[in-house]
Chain A
């Protein structure tokens, strides 16, 4: 230092000061940069916090949705066959064929390989068979009303030709493709999310679950048979018979005969109506006499037409049966005869007996009583007994369902009845809450201290605990 001059010293000091300050400002600049980085990080974290908070707020709603979907999906997939049932499908098809009467010639699977990734695997079979139109309709209906979901995707019909025996129904050739699906619960390999307090939340959402369940409804249809209809895949025109002796009347003639009979039937109906409407006894008597006379003449003519087979055309013959013969038959019967003769008093007593029997659990007695009157429960529209008969039929249906229910292996070993909230019952060793499905068609209704109510096939039934 001693060698440095004053000027040099000043310079050294100032430069040192400037250097330290420079370094410090460098540090400040660097720190500011770090602060900015931190602030950016904070902003990014804030954004993530906002998103996470929004997600947290959504949890109750998402939990609800998942519970509703999970519960309903479990219900939905019950309509689909289980994988193990598929091997039985061939047996099912065979039994359907036997029951409907079609002759099954081949059943070819047109499946792709099962995919583990997909939740639903479809299984398709192509069936080739022969049968009448009505046998085919029944066969197809058996698939469409089967407890498991089976879809007829396409079908072809090739009309058969009439054989020598004209009375035999014509057999057609069919190709039909049926498809069903199997649900793969573990598809994708993901495990279901564990929702805390699942059962409680499920119980709270019971109504919503049931409401959403209405979104799926498998329509079924009960085919009621031919019902005197002609096979539309058969040419309804009559064969021209060259042998004059066997030749029936020309169609125009047949139409003329039918028209004549129909006009007479209408005339009788008119006379009878006028007789009922008039208040003058003499006129009524005269009208009824005329109607009787005309009825006799018409019956004679109709009988002649039937015996001589004057109406041979299939369609005209159907109308002859339905619009002439059946109507003439009904004229013969008194209103009492037309009905079954079962009086309102008898019906009321039957109804009362059946209600008591159902209440006491004497289901067989109720079924037997119904069998006694079953034949006479057909009443015309507007008849007050018709409504009573419907109620009796409903009671019979309940009795049958009750009998079916009594055969179900149900063991109620305990109940927990809560004043508030859903009561619980232990059925076949498992715990069920009110409203839970015990089986495909069996739901637990109200739970009492010594009994449980079930809803089975739309009927409420009560069973005592052991």
Chain B
């Protein structure tokens, strides 16, 4: 059926947006607005708050960095000075007082002139400083009057039993050697042997142990 509206234009009912269109428009606006509001909330509330917190922390860190750098410089200097102190301590504490050592060694060898127990002399001496874990050494070409090894053993015993002298030593040659004769001497027989004395490394010497 065809309906013809014969009313003049001004009397006719106004053409209205359909409910569906309006509803869809409203829905679209709500969707867009709420999502924009949510975005705003996330950006302005959460992000900005976190950003402000970060800036604040960075500011704090900036203030502390000055102290940290100062402490770093102190630690670096401390390490350098510790290393230097250690070096000089090592230098000083690793020095062998050869005069004392040799003086004591002469005392033991001389044995207050008593040649009954032993009578020893040397042809040469080679003394070397130690390094790191290797202690200093003394190496001598020795002779002991008599063709009996007892006297030589007595001498080696006297060295080992002299606490003052031997406390920083690690090892000494065992008795032994060969009997040599020099007819121009009286008595002509003597035992020739190599006397090797090895000291402990500097860190184990009695005087350095006491300091600890």
Contact = CB atoms under 8 A, between A and B. Distances in A.
Interface stretch (A87-95, A225-233, A288-296, A417-425): A225-233
B124 A149 contact: no
Interface stretch (A214-222, A276-284, A368-376): A214-222
Interface string A314-334: 011011001000000000000
Given A10-B24, A35-B46, A319-B113, A154 B129 contact: yes
A257 interface: no
A55 B92 contact: no
B54 A233 contact: no
Contacts of A48: 61
Interface stretch (B1-9, B69-77, B157-165, B171-179): B69-77
A28 B38 contact: yes
B20 A10 contact: yes
Contacts of B76: 190
A55 B127 CA distance: 50
B60 A28 contact: no
A456 B38 CA distance: 84
B57 to A, nearest CB: 4
B88 A159 contact: no
B45 to A, nearest CB: 10
Contacts of B53: 38, 42
Majority secondary structure of chain B interface residues (helix, strand, loop or mixed) = helix
A72 B81 CA distance: 10
Interface string A159-201: 1000000000000000000000101000010101101000000
A190 B91 contact: no
Given A24-B36, A154-B129, A66 B77 contact: yes
A31 B42 contact: yes
B148 interface: no
Contacts, number: 282
A96 B176 CA distance: 40
Interface string B56-99: 01101100110110111111111011111101110111011111
A6 interface: yes
A195 B127 CA distance: 47
Given A35-B47, A181-B91, A28 B39 contact: yes
Contact of A151 (B83, B85, B91): B91
A52 B24 CA distance: 59
Contact of B67 (A13, A59, A152): A59
Size range of the chain B interface in the assembly? 35 or more
Contacts of B128: 153-154
Contacts of B29: 17
Interface string A409-434: 00000000000000000000000000
Interface in A1-27: 6, 9-10, 13-14, 16-18, 20-25, 27
Contacts of B211: 214-215, 217
Given A42-B57, A192-B77, A32 B42 contact: yes
B110 A18 contact: no
Contact of B54 (A27, A41, A158, A232): A41
A41 B73 CA distance: 26
A236 B57 contact: no
Contact of A42 (B54, B113, B126, B184): B54
A65 interface: yes
B150 to A, nearest CB: 17
Contacts of B43: 27, 31
A313 B110 CA distance: 14
Given A17-B27, A149-B92, A315-B113, A51 B68 contact: yes
Contacts of B95: 144, 149, 151, 218-219
B207 interface: yes
8 contacts: A14-B27, A49-B57, A55-B71, A58-B71, A73-B81, A76-B88, A215-B85, A240-B186
Interface of B: 18, 20-21, 24-25, 27-32, 34-36, 38-39, 42-43, 46-47, 50-51, 53-54, 57-58, 60-61, 64-65, 67-68, 70-78, 80-85, 87-89, 91-93, 95-100, 102-103, 105-107, 109-110, 112-115, 119-129, 143, 145, 182-188, 190, 207, 211
The 6 closest A-B pairs by CB, nearest first: A17-B28, A24-B35, A20-B32, A318-B113, A52-B64, A69-B81
